[in-house]
Amino acid sequence: MDKDELQRLRDKYGSLGGGDIFDPEFRKVADTIFSNGTRLAPYAGMPTFLTAPHRPIDPENPDFGDLQVAILGVPMDLGVTNRNGSRFGPRALRTIERIGPYNHVLKTAPVSDLRVADIGDVPFRSRFSLDLSHEDIEAHIARIRDAGVAPLSVGGDHSISLPILKALGKDRPVGMIHIDAHCDTSGGFDRTKFHHGGPFREAVLEGVLDPKRTIQIGIRGPAEYLWEFSYDSGMTVVHAEELTGLGIPAVIERARAVVGDGQTYVSFDIDSLDPAFAPGTGTPEIGGLTTREALELLRGLKGLNIVGGDVVEVAPQYDASTNTAQAGAQMLFEILSLMVFSPSIGNKQ
């Protein structure tokens, strides 16, 4: 090694701490997390989603201040058709440390670049009634929407997306990028249509989701015969088996074309990932996305007009390794990162 070059590096970096950074972009991030030469220990303090600030909200008289994004837990899994346990998803994601703060691909530190907080969980009146739970979710999301804040929700089973969409699409139907193993557009059975296998059929029929501006990615498994509504209503369906031939960049291009520049919701079911990466879910299907593919897919949505999102179906008790919760928290971080660049959110003063 050149001795002069080595001396230059020693002179420049030899006595600097972790927060002493010259690159202006990296320094901007470091300035938000280093204090007196150190940073908050990831295992210390009260756990929140993505280590965002905690802002308790009175549901009867909510004050969201100047928030742009509210991250909230929706610990409800009364709509599952098989294995329950995703009610524990929000708590599991809150305990995952060291997600972020910097997204090196999208070049943002979203918790710093947005006014965002963990506002706690939806206040449920009953742990036994699915109907009441959906009413509570819709009412809570409506309060967030009415305050001009974008909701980013952590479930809970996928039935939570229906009341969320009912609140967000009340005045105008939204488009959707839906990443999942299942289309979730089946009809009712066992005397109810409000389960995690059918929220998006009901959302279309309610007039709050535009099927022509909806794309479903990663679909696979033996439930294909249930998804007739997706095709008949005009949704775009990309099966997991197509991903190898198409390639992720082509799928991103198709997704962007489908939703256009209109208001768009992003729903990420953790079972879109292959169970090799995320076994902790109620309906695992082999042959799914890798975590790297999922990250590439989400990051390719930069600049879309995203007005809300969710990560659902993390059931941590089926995964002693915590890998599923780790993946879920990372996907939550990616969606929050996208919100920085959303015209409806990032430009809000």
CA neighbor of 65 nearest in space, from 53, 76, 77, 74: 53
- Across 68-102, b (16+ Cβ under 10 Å) vs e yields bbbbbbbbbbbbbbebebbbbbbbbbbebeebbbb
Do 102 and 109 meet the contact criterion of CB atoms below 8 Å apart? yes
**Per-residue pLDDT for the chain (349 aa), expressed as one digit of tens each?**
899 999 999 999 999 888 889 999 999 899 888 877 788 888 888 999 999 999 999 988 999 999 999 999 999 999 999 999 999 999 999 999 889 999 999 999 999 999 999 999 999 999 999 999 999 999 999 999 999 999 999 999 999 999 999 999 999 999 999 999 999 999 988 888 889 999 999 999 999 999 999 999 999 999 999 999 999 999 999 999 999 999 999 999 999 999 999 999 999 999 999 999 999 999 999 999 999 999 999 999 999 999 999 999 999 999 999 999 999 999 999 999 999 999 999 776 5
Fill in the amino acid letter for 339: M
For residue 312, list its beta bridge partners.
Answer: 269
Distance separating alpha carbons of residues 79 and 190, to the nearest angstrom:
11
Enter the tokens of residue 244: 């190898």
**Residue 251, CA distances (Å) to 177, 239, 256, 257 in order:** 11, 11, 9, 10
Distance separating alpha carbons of residues 230 and 279, to the nearest angstrom:
26
Do 295 and 104 meet the contact criterion of CB atoms below 8 Å apart? no
Global pTM reads: 0.96
